[in-house]
Amino acid sequence: MDFSDDFDHIKDVRSSSKGVTIVIDKTSRAYLEGTVVDFGVNDEGRTGFMFNNPNAITEEIE
């Protein structure tokens, strides 16, 4: 994840929800379809972005 003002109309797709706009490259879009991004506190008390991806086969934990 990164912050950028770059948008390539050929390679990228833009999506907005609840006042937040994200840009995803078209190749990754199929893998991220249906993903919910939230910001909060996890069970260990750590804050940060949380991703709930219904397409994920395994879960990677840092």
pLDDT value for 1: 63
What is the Cα–Cα distance from 21 to 4, expressed in whole angstroms? 11
User: How does residue 61 score in pLDDT terms, banded at 50, 70 and 90?
Assistant: low
Per the structure, how many domains does the chain have? 1
Position 39 in a domain: yes
pLDDT value for 50: 87
pLDDT value for 62: 58
pLDDT value for 16: 87
pLDDT value for 22: 85
Per-residue CA distances from 36 to 4, 5, 6 (Å): 20, 22, 23
Position 46 in a domain: yes
pLDDT tens-place string over residues 23-54: 889 998 888 888 888 899 988 899 998 888 88
Position 1 in a domain: no
Position 7 in a domain: no
Contact between residue 14 and residue 22 where contact means Cβ atoms under 8 Å apart = yes
Range of the domain at 19: 12-52
Q: Kindly compute the dihedral angle of the four CA atoms of residues 28, 37, 16, 11, in this order, to the nearest 10 degrees.
A: -10
Position 44 in a domain: yes
Position 5 in a domain: no
